[in-house]
Structure 1
Amino acid sequence: MALSETISKIDHVDDETSDCIENCLEAAEVCEWCADECAGEGEGMAECLRLCRDVADTASLHARFMARSSNYSAELAEVCAGACEECAEECSRHDSDHCQLCADVLENCAESCRSMMSA
């Protein structure tokens, strides 16, 4: 079963929340990959690696909070959006494909999380 199908079976999750969960999980995955690639590139990538790890943890936590309809989801949405924006800015400074892809995914995640702040 695809992730979107699984999420759609959670009765309290509307389309906007479902999209945000998927965006957060995609952000967590791409950030884990980007951090791993940055670790292999040596000097000058420490900030990118650190921010990617922050986003991976924050985004996966936010997805879990949304799935269980936590009372703290809106606050975590703000934290996640901010982390995504900062990381996307850092990644966009690097020419590597993994950083560029990461920046693109994080911009979508940040936008999705910002919309969840008022939900």
Structure 2
Amino acid sequence: MAHPTTSATQNQQVLDALARCIAACELCATACLHEDNIQMMVPCIRLDRDCADICRLTHAFIARGSDHAQHVLKECLEICRKCADECGQHKHDHCQQCADACRACIEACKSYQQ
């Protein structure tokens, strides 16, 4: 079930933020593979993939009203923070857009958690 204090609107907001984060992370990881210094981008690519995967899982758990959604949400927040920090260090547009999507996801997840 959804968190007892969340409304349908809060539920949709977090689901939308998670979906945007998934897309941004996937786009960033793919774009990083085309950068000149791919080796430098490896930590970013790894975090993009981890973040997209945990956001997918969190999205599914929240959408189905899983009793375990809050547990997965905590891990999602941690990985989104790390991904935002990593992507935020790079000047590429795709990294900056990913960092922004991760930060928006963090805020939506925090609101959902409360």
Alignment partners' CA distance in 1, 2:54 and 2:21: 10
Q: What's the CA shift for 1:40? A: 1.9
Find out whether 1:16 has 2:16 as its counterpart.
Answer: no
Matches within 5 A, 1:51-66: 51-66=47-62
Q: What's the CA shift for 1:115? A: 2.4
Q: What's the CA shift for 1:13? A: 6.4
Return the match for 2:43 from 27, 32, 47: 47
Alignment partners' CA distance in 1, 2:39 and 2:63: 38
1:45 is paired with a residue whose SS is helix
Count of residues in Structure 1 that have an aligned counterpart in Structure 2: 107
Between the two proteins, what is the percent identity of the paired residues?
Answer: 35
Unaligned runs of 5+ residues in structure 2 are 1-5
Find out whether 1:101 has 2:101 as its counterpart.
Answer: no
Alignment partners' CA distance in 2, 1:61 and 1:22: 14
What RMSD over aligned residues (CA atoms) do the two structures have, in Å? 1.4
Q: Could you say which structure has the greater relative contact order, defined with CA pairs below 8 angstroms and 6 or more residues apart?
A: 2
Alignment partners' CA distance in 1, 2:7 and 2:111: 14
Q: What's the CA shift for 1:100? A: 0.4
- Contact kept in structure 2, 1:74 and 1:116, CA below 8 Å: no
- Cα deviation code 1:39-69 (max 9, x no counterpart): 2221200000000000100101111111100
TM-score by length of 1: 0.85
TM-score by length of 2: 0.88
2:56 partner letter: S
Matched residue, 1:76: 72
Matched residue, 2:26: 32
